[in-house]
Structure 1
Amino acid sequence: MEPHIEIVVAVSQNGVIGREGDMPWRLSTDLKRFKALTIGKPVVMGRKTFESIGKALPNRLNIVITRDTDWQVDGVMRVGSIGAALDLALAHLESAEPDPDDPDAPMPDEICVIGGGQIYAQAIDMAHTLYVTHVLAEIDGDTYFPEIDKDVWQEVSHENVPKGEKDSVETRFAIYERKSETQL
């Protein structure tokens, strides 16, 4: 099985994805999109991202990358590198059983990389798809997403999302696909 690696990220106009170990905005609409994109799939993240979430995400295999070999949290798999994380996620996908309530449902083959900055930088060259919530504001922060290289990535769809009641700013949901070798 060849897994499909997806990056799921919210990023400001100036590239910020975090500030002081947390997200520097409140975006209920983005959190709903995040849940819909990641549910039932392995999620790969760094330790700081996990700590900002505060708990294992339900209905997903949670894989945390950290060099701290003593780090343990119930319901979370710890690995030491992005390669080990992707290998573990792939093994999980290959051993998955069909849903007994819906045996005809397609088996997931996607692995979601969900942060933070160092993990995104390591995973972007391996990713097939970027699910980006463009935060339509310049935000102060200390953690950044790598620049989306237009020579490598092609935007295949987008949706402008007005600021909802529980959102601090407007957003634009975009999907980028890696260009094929013939497009480069």
Structure 2
Amino acid sequence: MSRPAVGLVWAQAHDAAGRPVIGAGGVMPWHLPEDLAHFRRVTTGHPVLMGRVTWDSLPPRFRPLPGRRNVVVTRQEDWLPDDAAHPGAPGTGVVVASSVEEGLALASAAAEESGSEQVWVMGGAQVYAATLPLADRCVVTEIDLEVDGDAFAPALAAGPGGDWELGGVGPDAPGAPDGGWQTSAAGVRFRMLTYERRR
């Protein structure tokens, strides 16, 4: 089996300068149930890689994220999540890595062990930046909302001459009505796009 594909998944709004905001103060400054459901559909059954701050931002009742091996990267040598004593079913639970490289190796091994062909990176900004050069795809929920943030998504060079090609999933494919934009139950416009690395 070849190495599992590496995907990055995130939701982003924008700030007053148009920068893609993914967080503020360690949390997402919006509530979009449709994106949470989308994230669960995309990542369940596959290992997920995250930094410690992202782990801490998850509601305790959802840690570790069920149905996925959770790999947490931290520089704190003595850090262990409270949830580490409850690993759950094989291929689930949480393991700790001291670097992004070690985390990717652990997530890839977990994918191979479980028969998955995909590893998903779920934040934060530093982990996205470190893994973007290795990524095969990025799944991005764009939210038509201006927010103040302190964490930003990596820049994707899409279009002619860029490293990334815009694709889509189902109704979110290019050419979908209104560019794939939908209105959430919360009244906010959003769309879900997939970017594939050009080969």
Taking structure 2 as the reference length, the TM-score comes to: 0.81
33-42 or 66-75, which deviates more: 66-75
**Could you tell me which amino acid in structure 2 is paired with residue 142 of structure 1?**
D
Deviation (angstroms), 1:49: 0.5
Instruction: Name the residue aligned to 1:64.
Output: 72
Secondary structure, counterpart of 2:168 in structure 1? strand
Identity rate, percent: 36
Structure 2 CA distance for partners of 1:77 and 1:168, relative to 1, 3 Å = farther
The residue number in structure 1 matching 2:97 is 79
Aligned residue number for residue 127 of structure 1: 135
Amino acid across the alignment from 2:54: T
Matches within 5 A, 1:39-58: 39-54=44-59, 55-58=63-66
Determine which structure has greater relative contact order: mean sequence separation of CA pairs < 8 Å that are 6+ residues apart, divided by chain length. 1
Shift of 1:19: 0.4
Task: Give yes or no for the alignment of 1:95 onto 2:113.
Answer: yes
AA partner of residue 168 (structure 2): S
1:5 is the counterpart of 2:6: yes
> Cα RMSD (Å) of the superposition?
1.3
> Are residues 1:108 and 2:116 paired?
yes
User: Structure 1's 156 and 80: CA in aligned 2 closer, same or farther, altered over 3 A?
Assistant: same
Task: Pick the structure with more helix per residue.
Answer: 2
Equivalent residue for 1:177?
196
Q: Structure 2 regions of 5+ residues with no counterpart?
A: 85-92, 173-179
TM-score, normalising length: structure 1: 0.87
Match of 2:164 in 1: 153
User: What is the distance in 1 between the residues matched to 2:107 and 2:117?
Assistant: 10
> Post-superposition shift, 1:148?
1.0
CA contact 2:184–2:190 (8 Å) conserved in 1: no
Secondary structure of 1:26's partner?
coil
* Post-superposition CA distance 1:116-168 (Å, at most 9, x none): 11100101111000000011122210000111112111101262242222x36
Structure 2 partner of 1:33? 38
The answer for the alignment partner of 1:164 in structure 2 is 184
Checking the alignment, whether the CA contact within 8 Å between 2:129 and 2:154 is kept in structure 1 is yes
